[in-house]
A and B are shown apart, each in its own frame.
Chain A
Amino acid sequence: MSLLNEVWQAVKAIGTGMATVHKRVYEEAPTEFYPYVELDLPPVSVQSLALVENEDGTERCIVCLQCERACPSQVISIERHRNPEGKGFLIDRFDIDLVNCMYCSACVEACPVSSIVTIQDFELSTYDLHTLKADIDFLHEQARRSKKWYSPKLGVEIRTEDGRIEKAPPEMQPGGLAELLKPAAEEEES
């Protein structure tokens, strides 16, 4: 009797398991064919860092060293000199060691002018780690290649087809719900 019961239990368990597997076979797979399918990462996703220039090619960074001070892994090193004409500072050297960076985006939080931003380019894999010691040209190039980036001060910005930099629509912004809900509330009132 107990043997029969055990056999029945085993058959039932296998049946339940097979039924569950059967159900899942027809669901859409969560995996993606990575190199062939372009991943649509959210605009706040922190995959790499970049240094944004203005539309006219001038430097946004004012070399205030806030990012260097904020960095928990201490991978940012900046050298600067006083601007001989006018006020402020000019960059001598701006290095980020992307190997030791832990992508916490503390530097982006600290930046007062939204110059250093987070971008969604995750394809930094390399055979030579020295290529990841990013200097200023590397960081500018990263920004020129990216279509959208995020910084807390200015939110998500996008680069349009003709090279202008614009604020992204509220659907892409963190906290964009406030703007999205506003017209609806006004319509309800009227």
Chain B
Amino acid sequence: MSSTIGLEPVLGRSDEMIVNMGPQHPATHGVLRVVIGLEGERITRAVPHIGYLHRNHEKIEESRTYFQVVPFTDRMDYVSGTQNELPVVLAVEDLAGIEVPERAKMIRTMFFELFRIASHLVWMGTAMLDLGAITPFLYTFWDREIILGIVERTAGARMLPNYYTFGGVRRDLHPHFFKDVAEFLDHLEKRMPDYEHLVLENPIVHARTVGVGVLSKERAVARGVSGPVLRASGVAYDVRKAFPYDAYPEVEFEIPTSDAGDTYARFWVRFQEIYQSVKILRQLLEKTPKTGPFKGRAPARLKISGERYRAVENSRGELGVYVVGDGGDKPYRIKHRGAAFSNLQVIPDLFIGAKFSDAIAILSSLDPVFGEIDR
């Protein structure tokens, strides 16, 4: 049996030290363990280990009906709530031929973008926490609290709302929803310059991130990374534009990309995405009818045969699902393609050659969420 740490000491290399980072290291997000070979302060080898949060969602979901699968998907990427439900919902809607009213699509998209802002705010706080700044964390969670309050007023829960359903959403909007979101967007636009001062224009952030952990364009594509990590390497691939779903064809937004591919570029792309989300939300607040249907006609017992891959662009990248139905009311197989899961594979590429302290900055720029990586 091979060694469980996956990193054997090399004979005759007494200058290399093998160090365990994690799984409960306070500076890592969640429960990631990376076995690192160190030569002085340079990283020579890195082997990531995951699975400390594994619950085998895929097996559990095989024994649940399609309606019961949706709340389980919430538990994957727990920072971005409803975004996880959408791939399953879209795939099943495709296979069962369920029509979704226009208003329901717009409501879904609004929640999707609200959670993108919430997730990027959490990233901003925790990334700065990794770099040693504590105050931005308090401020970003303050603003995220407002989003979660808006979500709770309509969806009933804050982080794991179980809000989307086949054919639309579970319940209609709270009467104050439009007012709340408009107020929040005004508030956020006032706050964003502060965050730019604290994060993007911060000389310490510059010193620790510019030119650190460069991921080339070709390597990023071949490694299958997606989301802000891919766009920071200069590939304008966004599922919202490439394979539009819900109300995205009806709104205008840009895909921010950067050619640098370093840690700072990944920080910058996430900031620009918040601005784009604000832009999308403002358009949707205008376009969404105040009243109307929020749910299409869906059968009470779904029986599905066939298979379908659907993907959405969640806060971390392409979150896909591969649903296989065998004609029963339970899925034959559900495979989740985690965005953070694929992004985390680039750890050896980025870590090797970097300094140990840079590894923390690189890791925070990948924004892993272990509920989704380990599933």
A positions within 8 Å CB-CB of B: 9-10, 13, 16-17, 20-21, 23-24, 30, 41-42, 44-46, 70-72, 102-106, 109, 118, 150, 152, 170-171, 173-178, 180-181
Contact = CB atoms under 8 A, between A and B. Distances in A.
Interface of B: 64, 67-69, 71-72, 74-75, 135, 139, 142, 145-146, 152-157, 160, 162, 170-176, 194, 197-198, 201-204, 290-291, 294
Given A42-B152, A106-B162, A181-B291, A170 B67 contact: no
A106 B68 contact: yes
Contact of B67 (A10, A17, A70): A70
B204 A13 contact: yes
B139 to A, nearest CB: 7
Contacts of B154: 44, 174
Contacts, number: 93
Nearest to B177: A177
Given A70-B68, A72-B71, A106-B67, A46 B156 contact: yes
Given A23-B194, A106-B68, A118-B156, A44 B203 contact: no
Contact of A45 (B145, B156, B173): B156
A181 B290 contact: yes
B157 A46 contact: yes
A98 to B, nearest CB: 15
Given A9-B203, A45-B156, A175 B294 contact: yes
A104 B71 contact: yes
B173 A175 contact: yes
A23 B201 CA distance: 18
B238 to A, nearest CB: 30
B202 A13 contact: yes
Given A104-B162, A105-B156, A177 B68 contact: no
Contacts of B67: 70, 106
Given A17-B197, A46-B156, A174 B171 contact: yes
Contacts of B152: 41-42, 45
A46 B160 CA distance: 11
Given A45-B156, A104-B162, A176 B71 contact: no
Nearest to A171: B175
A93 to B, nearest CB: 23
